[in-house]
Amino acid sequence: MTTHRRPMFPNLHASAASGRLLRMRYSNAVMSERTNSILELFECTGGYLRGHFLLTSGLHSPEYLQCAVVLQYPEQAARLGANLAEALALAVGPRKVSLVASPALGGIVIGHEVARALGARAVFTERDAAGAMTLRRGFRVEPGEAAVVIEDVVTTGGSTREVIQVLRAAGAEVLAAGSIIDRSAGKADVSVPRVALATLDVVTYRPEECPLCRAGIPLLKPGSRR
């Protein structure tokens, strides 16, 4: 008897190319159904890019997952936010999260959707002229407020750690962090429990060791940070 499972993203009006293989090294031989569904979603929307990319961490990679392309579809953004909120609820236990904070620009949409699912409010941090992460636009954090930090993609966890520092300096209690994609294979340490909808071990290179640079392939910076 064949069992038909409801797809995680049933209303996406696109289809992945038959037989397309992701050129990634995964941390496990068998990926979870959820990870497969997430990666299929990126393929369907054109959010999985191949080439030569400069990551926010400063590392180079032949692959890039562009979450903004996926999040342009409100229904998919809401679904991803609800799934991430569910994973975070398990991580924080019975504590009620009242604040979701995200780094601009990449984390804003998914942070807002996670906040919606958790019944919390959403704020975002920005970099000032000196490059330091800060709260602006009248956003306030209440002392003792229970918060989580949300990003679209985590590679080294640097941006998440900066947002956590901003929240703690304002008196918030940061309970956990989350992202759609974890490119670190689960290795990024942000000092709080962390969850992701898909955990990958993606090929990256230090600039001085990058074979793509040696091959003369143009370097692209697809993210929001200059």
Q: Residue 101 domain-assigned?
A: yes
**pLDDT tens readout for residues 1-17:** 444 333 344 333 333 33
Mean pLDDT, to the nearest integer, of 87-102?
94
Q: Residue 8 domain-assigned?
A: no
User: Taking the alpha carbons of 39, 43, 47, 51 in that order, is the dihedral positive or negative?
Assistant: positive
Q: What is the pTM of this model?
A: 0.77
The CATH number given to whatever domain includes residue 130 is 3.40.50.2020
Q: Residue 163 domain-assigned?
A: yes
Q: Residue 139 domain-assigned?
A: yes
Mean pLDDT, to the nearest integer, of 94-100?
95
Alpha helices in the chain (DSSP H): 33-45, 67-71, 74-92, 108-118, 158-169, 211-214
Looking at the structure of the chain, the number of domains it has is 1
* Cα dist from 219 to 43, 49, 51, 143, 204, whole Å: 22, 13, 8, 43, 13
Q: Residue 186 domain-assigned?
A: yes
pLDDT computed for residue 225 by the predictor:
53
Mean pLDDT, to the nearest integer, of 16-35?
40
**pLDDT tens readout for residues 143-169:** 999 999 999 999 889 999 999 999 999
User: Taking the alpha carbons of 121, 107, 11, 79 in that order, is the dihedral positive or negative?
Assistant: negative
User: With contact defined as beta carbons under 8 Å apart, do 128 and 89 qualify?
Assistant: no
User: With contact defined as beta carbons under 8 Å apart, do 72 and 47 qualify?
Assistant: no
Q: Residue 221 domain-assigned?
A: no
More confident site: 87 or 36: 87
- Around Cβ 168, how many Cβ atoms within 10 Å? 14
Residue 224: which pLDDT band, with cuts at 50, 70 and 90? Answer: low
pLDDT over 70, % of the chain: 83
The range of the structural domain enclosing residue 157 comes to 67-200
Residue 196: phi and psi, rounded to 5, are -150, 150
Q: Residue 136 domain-assigned?
A: yes
Q: How far apart are the first and last CA of the chain?
A: 53
Q: Residue 189 domain-assigned?
A: yes
Residue 124 has pLDDT above 80, yes or no: yes
